[in-house]
């Protein structure tokens, strides 16, 4: 080392040591760490300064570029007790990488900045993943953030914590060498950087404190409401689930529909032998879990006591959310503990986006900690981007849900009209009259499943006014010319009896219910103009001649006849459009979350 470099290194060590002694350092580590010294630490180039201080004199070998700036950094690092290897992607990279691999094989710890020395920032460069694979060592992702701090206007937004700054160092779960690739490592390091920022950001910390205080004050009200629920739900809502030592993957879907959207993930995890635990928020979903023999419970109340009790007992290795179930206390605790999180079927309505803006610092910081978020539509992706949350478009997971075959005996209940059978599912107020008129004019036998059971009498009356003699499902009719279904949980299978289906909430201004269930049975679908919850699927279905939109009775008759004619000529494709694309995206997410290889 030259005299000037040695002097600069000594001066840098003194200045950094004086500055570092004023920092208030918090280290966040996963519950499952790693043993031994043969470890590859990875962090972004702009976050290296605090780590040079906090990890001094630990015998770590660090890769530094051969540039002039790199020589200064190397001098400081060597004065702080690091060993250095000089090289980068542009100069001396191959020999430097070989030296790092040899050091790791000999049992020495190594640190790299995989986006250096010139960027692009926060993206692992191609070839970096070869180092842990060849050395057969895990990668420990790191994230660092501080407040107050300076971010330079350099390409890497170099972080300089100010005196007395609060500094958070987030250490992630080790990524096994066999899982190491560019996409997985980038997601892992970004997740840790976001977690560190969440725990430092003053506005996010203030917001979660307010939310926790509000949740604490509302706890007596929640407990009072629980008195009217079953003993099982009361117990599980308080987080009193059986202790689990298997570190399962935790999946959460609030309602029955959201839970069904998780079924493709559940099928994959079961096929891989991955332990899993499912939670929900509604009695119908909880009953479905029992029918499917899925281990799980009700979601805990969103209070610190219930959430921590739940997580301490479950000890999940990862969390996969369906749609947008944003429970602030629960998700804050999940990401604070370093539990890997991801989301599928993500949606963000205009109304929800407006509400979440009230807690934007917390909402955006928490979701930025996720390894990946797969959205249902481009509109949803854009709304997440408004919160500075990056996502990937994948479509709705319900598109890949296995269809449930109807009971053959059900066909005896229905007198198939000259036009066939029309199953109208999840109908809302004002929709049944239109559907009954369309059925009458097309010769279709209507099978109507109202969204809410308390409207059964009203729907029966509407059918009688339309000239039908309606029967109730529970009366076990034979060859009914109009059937009103007054039981829950069979709609998905009922669609399998249909020649054509109508999905409710589309003539009424509700945004539409799940049109993917009838499509899974290769049943063509008609919907009203209010279908923004499934706009992308409706657009693809219209292009593929399996879906049509209508507003009036006359239009409904025309599009129904058109689809029935097309359906009779179709060869019958067993794959719902978009299934393969969704499954590809979902598998990539599971790999980024280190759940499957």
Domain that holds residue 500: 408-577
Same domain flag for 101 and 211 = no
Peptide bond into 148 cis (omega under 30): yes
- C-alpha to C-alpha distances, 256 to 194, 252, 283, 373, nearest whole angstrom: 32, 11, 9, 21
| Listed residue (89, 86, 31, 26) closest to 54, CA to CA | 26
Same domain flag for 30 and 133 = yes
- Residue 193 placed within a domain: no
Dihedral (CA of 332, 337, 342, 345) sign: negative
DSSP string, 182-225: HHHHHHHHHHHHHHHHHHH-HHHHHHHHHHHHHHHHHHHHHHHH
Same domain flag for 469 and 525 = yes
Residue 35's SS3 state is coil
User: Cα separation of 541 and 535, whole Å?
Assistant: 10
Position 376 scores a pLDDT of: 86
306 neighbors 238 (Cβ within 8 angstroms): yes
Same domain flag for 173 and 234 = no
- Residue 595 placed within a domain: no
User: Cα separation of 324 and 228, whole Å?
Assistant: 27
pLDDT digits over 122-179, tens only?
999 988 889 999 999 999 999 999 999 999 999 999 999 999 999 999 998 898 898 8
- Residue 196 placed within a domain: no
Q: What is the helix (H) or strand (E) element at residue 343, kind and residue range?
A: strand 340-346
User: Cα separation of 496 and 426, whole Å?
Assistant: 15
Same domain flag for 496 and 550 = yes
DSSP letter, residue 106: T
| Listed residue (261, 239, 264, 242) closest to 252, CA to CA | 261
Identify the CATH number of the domain in which residue 516 sits.
3.40.50.2000
The DSSP bridge pattern shows strands 296-298 and 276-280 to be parallel
Position 571 scores a pLDDT of: 46
- Residue 303 placed within a domain: yes
Count of the separate structural domains present in the chain? 3
User: Cα separation of 562 and 558, whole Å?
Assistant: 6
User: Cα separation of 457 and 512, whole Å?
Assistant: 23
- Residue 192 placed within a domain: no
User: Cα separation of 253 and 284, whole Å?
Assistant: 12
Question: What residue ranges of the chain have pLDDT lower than 70?
Answer: 1-5, 31-37, 87-93, 568-578
- Residue 194 placed within a domain: no
- Residue 197 placed within a domain: no
Same domain flag for 251 and 328 = yes
Same domain flag for 287 and 153 = no
Same domain flag for 323 and 207 = yes
Position 409 scores a pLDDT of: 92
- 3-state SS record for 230-283: CHHHHHHHCCCCCCCCCCCEEEECCCHHHHHCCHHHHHHHHHCCCCEEEEECCH
Identify the CATH number of the domain in which residue 315 sits.
3.40.50.11720
113 neighbors 92 (Cβ within 8 angstroms): no
Same domain flag for 164 and 208 = no
- Residue 51 placed within a domain: yes
Residue 571's SS3 state is coil
- Tokens at residue 411, please? 């066909």
User: Cα separation of 345 and 343, whole Å?
Assistant: 7
- Tokens at residue 204, please? 């996010």
Q: Which long-range contacts (CB under 8 A, 24 or more apart) does 270-276 make?
A: 272/596, 274/248, 274/249, 274/595, 274/596, 275/246, 275/247, 275/248, 275/249, 276/248, 276/249, 276/250, 276/251
Same domain flag for 418 and 455 = yes
Same domain flag for 374 and 436 = no
Question: Domain boundary at 133, 165, 180, which?
Answer: 180
Q: What is the largest CA-CA distance in the chain?
A: 100
Same domain flag for 228 and 120 = no
């Amino acid at each position: 080392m030259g005299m000037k470099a040695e002097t600069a290194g000594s001066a840098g060590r003194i200045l950094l040591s004086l500055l570092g002694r004023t920092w208030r350092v918090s280290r966040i580590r996963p519950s499952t760490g790693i043993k031994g010294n043969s470890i590859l630490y990875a962090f972004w180039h702009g976050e290296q300064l605090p780590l040079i201080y906090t990890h001094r004199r630990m015998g770590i070998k660090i890769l530094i570029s051969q540039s002039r700036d790199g020589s200064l950094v190397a001098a400081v690092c060597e004065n702080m007790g690091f060993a250095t290897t000089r090289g980068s992607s542009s100069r001396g990279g191959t020999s430097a990488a070989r030296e790092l691999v040899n050091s790791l094989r000999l049992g020495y710890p190594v640190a790299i900045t995989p986006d250096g020395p010139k960027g692009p920032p926060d993206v692992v460069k191609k070839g970096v993943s070869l180092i842990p694979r060849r050395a057969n060592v895990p990668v420990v992702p790191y994230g660092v953030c501080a407040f107050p701090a300076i971010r330079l206007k350099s390409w890497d937004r170099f972080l300089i914590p100010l005196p007395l700054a609060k500094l958070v160092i987030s250490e992630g779960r080790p990524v096994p060498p066999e899982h190491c690739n560019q996409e997985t490592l980038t997601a892992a390091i970004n997740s840790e950087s976001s977690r560190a920022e969440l725990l430092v950001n003053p506005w996010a910390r203030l917001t979660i404190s307010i939310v926790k205080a509000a949740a604490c004050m509302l706890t007596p009200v929640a407990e009072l409401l629980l008195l009217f629920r079953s003993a099982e739900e009361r117990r599980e809502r308080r987080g009193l689930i059986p202790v689990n030592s298997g570190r399962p993957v935790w999946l959460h879907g609030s309602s029955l529909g959201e839970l069904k959207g998780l079924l493709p993930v559940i099928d994959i995890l079961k096929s891989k032998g991955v332990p899993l635990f499912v939670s929900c928020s509604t009695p119908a979903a909880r009953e479905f879990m029992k029918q499917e023999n899925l281990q799980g419970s009700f979601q805990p109340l969103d209070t610190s006591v219930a959430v921590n009790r739940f997580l301490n007992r479950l000890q999940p290795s990862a969390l996969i959310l369906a749609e947008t179930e944003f429970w602030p206390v629960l998700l804050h605790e999940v990401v604070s503990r370093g539990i890997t999180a991801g989301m599928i079927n993500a949606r963000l309505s205009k109304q929800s986006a407006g509400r979440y803006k009230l807690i934007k610092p917390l909402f955006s910081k928490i979701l930025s900690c996720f390894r990946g978020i797969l959205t249902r539509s481009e509109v949803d992706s854009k709304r997440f981007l408004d919160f500075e949350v990056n996502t990937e478009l994948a479509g709705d997971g319900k598109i890949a849900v296995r269809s449930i075959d109807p009971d053959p005996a059900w066909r005896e209940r229905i007198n198939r009209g000259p036009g066939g059978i029309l199953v109208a599912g999840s109908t809302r107020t004002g929709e049944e009259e239109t559907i009954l008129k369309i059925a009458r004019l097309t010769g279709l036998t209507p099978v109507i499943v109202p969204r809410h059971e308390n409207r059964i009498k009203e729907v029966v009356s509407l059918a009688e006014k339309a000239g039908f003699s309606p029967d109730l499902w529970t009366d076990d009719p034979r060859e009914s010319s109009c059937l009103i279904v007054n039981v829950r949980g069979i709609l998905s299978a009922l669609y399998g009896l249909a020649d054509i289906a109508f999905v409710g909430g589309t003539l009424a201004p509700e945004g539409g219910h799940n049109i993917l269930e009838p499509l899974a049975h290769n049943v063509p679908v008609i919907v009203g103009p209010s279908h923004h919850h499934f706009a992308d699927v409706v657009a693809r279905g219209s292009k593929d001649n399996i879906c049509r939109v209508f507003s009036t009775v006359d239009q409904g008759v025309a599009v129904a006849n058109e689809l029935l004619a097309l359906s009779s000529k179709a060869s019958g494709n067993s794959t719902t459009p978009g299934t393969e694309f969704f499954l590809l995206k979902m598998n990539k997410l599971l790999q980024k979350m280190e759940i499957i290889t």
